[in-house]
Amino acid sequence: MMNKDKYIAKLNTIKASERFKQKTAVLLKTSLDGENRTGVKKRNKKITFVLAPALAVVLICALLFSNMFGPTVQASENLMDGVTARKLNIDSTIDANFIKPTSDFSIDLFKKTVTKDTNSLVSPVSVYLALGMTANGAGSNTLKQFENVLGGGLGINELNQNYYAMSNKLKSIKDGKLQIANSIWYRNQNLTVEKHFLQKNADYFGAGAFQLDFSKKDTADKINLWVKENTGGKIDKMVEQIDSSTMMYLINTLYFEADWQSAYQNSEAGDFHAPEGTVSASFMHSAEKYIHDDKADGMLKSFKDDRYAFAAILPKTGTNLDDYIGQMSGDSFLKLLNSAGDERAECSLPKFKYEYSIGLNDPLKKLGLTDAFDGSLADFSQMGSSADGKLFVQDVLHKTFIAVDETGAKAGAATEVMMGTKSAMPVEKQIVFDRPFVYAIIDTQTKLPIFIGTVNNPSK
């Protein structure tokens, strides 16, 4: 989050006038005055999760001045004063016992969030990091449900350690960008926040915590600015209006950008058979690693940092997309990805670009996370307390963006195309993604999906 020092440094960088610097410095010292409310009827208070992953297989250029003229968080609003992330002595290896339940959660979440005949996209990583962050404030049966849904019974300490290790590995991308950011936003009235909750989230998730006057109009703007800054400018509005009963927002953003290891040279028009009829699409052609099982054929295409790859999965002829997704499991997804060998396929992939938004309350309830949403059952006593009533989860919001094209990295700037060497293996298979298919951006070491979605119509 931008602070005074960073602002002044940025002003110096852009050679702002001395008068403008002085005015900005004065503004940065101004603190918001909290309003004291009395006589409020006691009621359960709500928590809102906002998950805003933005995936762009393109190069996103953020404007230098994006922070200069919007509302920003002031020092008096930062709850992390005195809370510093401690250096953790944690093995960087991701536990094998963590991968299976995390794959199960990822695919189950995907299945529960797909909208029929619509381009869909979720980031399981973003969702489970935000939920893991929140689970550290839960107790009793509420905590058990978080542990069961996220880790198949793994304890919160094991989840914390694996989320920490995984986040660090993902962010260590060698060519491109994978940025993860977490924050917690509290109402500044009638709420006491537990220090040990802030400390755990600082240690394992690098989360910042801020306390704002939710009754002020610019509070939503401050939160939205934080989201915009941490998604490369691709998602600029998550919070519209703040409900009077909302006490907290827990936000995770995950932003990915990368070039293909071997760029497509061009594309050509072709037909795509969408649910509503045939549409025109631009198809890109290449020979890629072949993946398959008895229900689908697919491809793996590497990014420049080959820890990351794009997987496209086409159900066998005669199987529609909904039926294929219905039979997917975490285990079948891992096995499909592990089927990649030396065999290659000649693939035709359409370019596509779209946004997707979905509320996750119902999908998470169906997965077994129920108490957190019930004001009478939720136990977030480890997170904090309010004189107005018990804390519970109001909404879990999820918004995503994706763009895939020839270079894998193009957004307002030209990018050098690097050509890879062709494999000497003969190409025997041909896969044309000219009807609805599943795709994912995966971590090739764990085979876990960072993003997973569907393309029903690439022209939308």
pLDDT tens-digit series, residues 312-344 = 999 999 999 999 999 999 999 999 999 999 899
User: Which of 100-109, 328-337, 375-384, 393-402 has the lowest average pLDDT?
Assistant: 393-402
Alpha-carbon separation of residue 408 from 56, 108, 255, 337 (angstroms): 8, 28, 14, 21
Structural domain spans, the chain: 1-30, 44-258+355-401, 267-351+423-455
Q: What is the pLDDT of residue 248?
A: 82
Superfamily of domain 267-351+423-455: Alpha-1-antitrypsin, domain 1 (2.30.39.10)
Contacts of 39 (CB under 8 A, 6+ apart): none
CA 20 to chain centroid, in Å, comes to: 36
Selected residue with higher pLDDT from 384 and 311: 311
pLDDT at position 43: 55
pLDDT of residue 106: 97
- Whole-angstrom CA distances from 67 to 63, 225, 233 are 9, 8, 11
- DSSP annotation of 201: H
Selection from 285, 342, 331 nearest residue 312 by Cα: 285
60 to 54, 57, 186, 245, 368: CA distances (angstroms)? 11, 9, 30, 36, 37
Give residue 303's pLDDT.
Answer: 93
Q: Does domain 44-258+355-401 have CATH number 3.90.1150.10?
A: no
SS3 222: helix
- Cβ–Cβ < 8 Å for 358, 122: yes
Bridge partner list, 280:
271
Determine the average pLDDT of the residues in 170-180. Answer: 89
Residues in Cβ contact with 34 at an 8 Å cutoff, skipping those fewer than 6 apart: 188, 189, 213
Mean pLDDT of the chain: 80
C-alpha 312: how far from chain center: 20
* Residue predicted with more confidence, 189 or 366: 366
Give me the mean pLDDT over the 288-297 stretch. Answer: 96
Whether the per-residue pLDDT at 7 is higher than 90: the answer is: no
Q: 303: number of CA atoms within 13 Å, CB side?
A: 29
Higher pLDDT, 434 or 390: 434
Output the pLDDT for position 351: 93
CA–CA distances in Å: residue 85 to residues 14, 105, 196 = 31, 28, 12
DSSP 3-state assignment of 14? coil
Q: How far is CA 94 from CA 91, 169, 181, 237, 273, in A?
A: 8, 9, 20, 34, 41
Burial of 219 (0-12, 13-18, 19+ CB in 10 A): buried
Percent with pLDDT over 90 in the chain: 47
